[in-house]
Amino acid sequence: MIWVVAVVGFPAAALAALSAEARVGALVCLAVLAVIILVDVRGRGLEGVRVELPELVRMFKDRAAEIRVRVHRGSAKRVRIGVVVPEGIRAPFEETDVDLPSEISEFTWSWIAHRRGLYRVEWVYLEAASPWGMWQVRRKDAVAMEIRVYPNLRRTEDLKALRQGVSGMHALRQIGRGREFEKLREYMPGDSLDEIHWKATARRGKPITKVFQVERTQEVYVIIDSSRLSARAAGEETGLERAIAAALILGAAAEKRGDLFGLAAFSDSVEAFVRARNGKAHYAACRDAIYQLHPKAVSPDFDEIATFLRLRLRRRALLLFLTSLDDPVLAENFARATKLLARRHLVLAGMLRPSSARPLFSGDVESAEDVYRDLAGHLSWKRLRELERSLARQGVRLSVIDPANFSGGLIGIYDSVKQRQLL
């Protein structure tokens, strides 16, 4: 009704107040104006305008990335372009005016992601003035841009751990003679009796000794727990964020040492699995396998992942579980599930140290509340020490590491295994 009154009522009232001759002139002017408006409406201000977004954009958490946008001019010389920025990504603006001086113009959009994961942009919104500037023409075009946000490995503690992992391989001193058979040779004074190959000695009629070499290519698997406890805060990040970053840092260190690196992730079921290999393409595959991993509000199924690994891993490997075992029920389940697994593989467990788990009176005490707080932390610390001893009896080593040095601590554990040839 408002539009009817505005379009019909007011002009009719105005014409009624005019004389006959003035009324004819006003009608002519209105007719001309109507024709101009109709022609401008039919004009296509966005004809031929096309926006191209990249099909795939790789970003890193908390690091700026530039998205290159290409615009085909068509009939417009200036266009406003807008997109809906996915939640978890921040942009200084969601729409911008772009001048189109040539047939194809380009500009960059700077976005910063604050959360890992997979994001998609499916629509782009366009606006341009009509040919005579009387209207704004708008259109929504379908696009397909996929954004993959990976963990940020350029933090100070991660870079320090990675440098430690790269430089430490040159100073790594091997202990022992090695486990992998290399060749046979004649007995030399000082050779141990258990190194003598008795069948070859009998055939040749003289003592023959076995020569071993240090294993150079071993399989290292990091198994990440993404269940409910992985959502707990560990400093400025969650435990899962630190576990994912530490796993990728350890993978880079293992590749520098010539080992094969693999990944697995689980919660109440197996979430991801990448068989151990090496190379840049394999490292990218490992990163793609876990960049969408987020905590799930479920309890971990250690029996499921242990059975999965026993069926798929035939060769002896280093299995490093990144999980939380300060819950007594989960600790019991982990010990039971890894008992058979430890007979074939070398099983280690690394967990973030809970902020309250520490020996009694290791901090400042100013009141009775501090005593009770420290007592609760001492009991938690004592349970973890008992769990370490219990797991050690079945061949599983548990390491409780401070969150600030999680990546470096895991590399230290890996170096110790390499040095002592435990694998």
Distance CA 161, CA 403 (A): 13
CA-wise closest residue to 50 among 116, 124, 153, 156: 124
Asked whether 408 and 360 are in contact (CB, 8 A), the reply is: no
Beta strands across the sheet bearing 136-150: 56-60, 136-150, 117-129, 78-82, 95-99
Residues 6+ apart with CB under 8 A from 328: 383
Chain-centroid distance of CA 241 in Å reads 8
Residues 6+ apart with CB under 8 A from 276: 219, 220, 221, 260, 261, 262, 317
Q: What average pLDDT does range 205-213 have in this prediction?
A: 77
Asked whether 76 and 94 are in contact (CB, 8 A), the reply is: no
In whole angstroms, how far apart are CA 178 and each of 72, 173, 192, 206, 319? 65, 12, 14, 24, 20
Distance CA 295, CA 101 (A): 49
How confident is the model at residue 322, as a pLDDT? 96
Total Cβ atoms within 10 A of residue 352: 27
Considering the entire predicted model, what is its pTM? 0.76
Q: What average pLDDT does range 316-344 have in this prediction?
A: 93
**Do strands 117-129 and 136-150 pair parallel, antiparallel, or not at all (unpaired)?**
antiparallel
Q: 343: which 2 tokens?
A: 């007979």
In whole angstroms, how far apart are CA 94 and each of 60, 82, 89, 304? 20, 6, 11, 45
Express each pLDDT in 24-81 by its tens digit: 665 666 665 565 565 555 546 688 899 999 999 999 999 999 999 999 988 788 899 9
Q: What average pLDDT does range 212-237 have in this prediction?
A: 85
Chain-centroid distance of CA 375 in Å reads 37
Total Cβ atoms within 10 A of residue 353: 21
Q: What dihedral do alpha carbons 10, 15, 16, 22 form, nearest 10°? A: 160
- Residue with the bigger pLDDT between 24 and 408: it is 408
- What are the structural domains of the chain? 50-150 (2.60.40.10), 156-171+217-420 (3.40.50.410), 180-213 (no CATH)
CA-wise closest residue to 348 among 422, 249, 403: 422
Place of tokens 């409780």: 400
The answer on pLDDT for 171 being more than 50 is no
Asked whether 289 and 265 are in contact (CB, 8 A), the reply is: yes
**Do strands 104-113 and 64-72 pair parallel, antiparallel, or not at all (unpaired)?**
antiparallel
Secondary structure letter of residue 326 according to DSSP: -
Share of the chain above pLDDT 90, in %: 50
Express each pLDDT in 334-369 by its tens digit: 999 999 999 999 999 999 988 777 777 666 666 767
Q: What dihedral do alpha carbons 415, 421, 422, 423 form, nearest 10°? A: 90
Residues 6+ apart with CB under 8 A from 147: 57, 59, 86, 89, 113, 118, 119, 120, 121
How confident is the model at residue 354, as a pLDDT? 86
Q: Where are the beta strands (DSSP E) in 83-197?
A: 89-90, 95-99, 104-113, 117-129, 136-150, 180-186
Of all helices (H) and strands (E), which one includes residue 225?
strand 219-225
Place of tokens 């029996």: 303
SS3 237: strand
Express each pLDDT in 108-148 by its tens digit: 999 999 999 999 999 999 998 876 666 788 889 999 999 99
| CB neighbour class for 341 (10 Å; exposed up to 12, middle 13-18, buried from 19) | buried
Of all helices (H) and strands (E), which one includes residue 16?
helix 10-16
Secondary structure letter of residue 63 according to DSSP: S
Asked whether 61 and 37 are in contact (CB, 8 A), the reply is: no
How confident is the model at residue 379, as a pLDDT? 84
Total Cβ atoms within 10 A of residue 184: 13
How confident is the model at residue 18, as a pLDDT? 56
The answer on pLDDT for 174 being more than 80 is no
Distance CA 384, CA 229 (A): 16
Share of the chain above pLDDT 70, in %: 79
Task: Give the pLDDT band (50/70/90) at residue 161.
Answer: confident
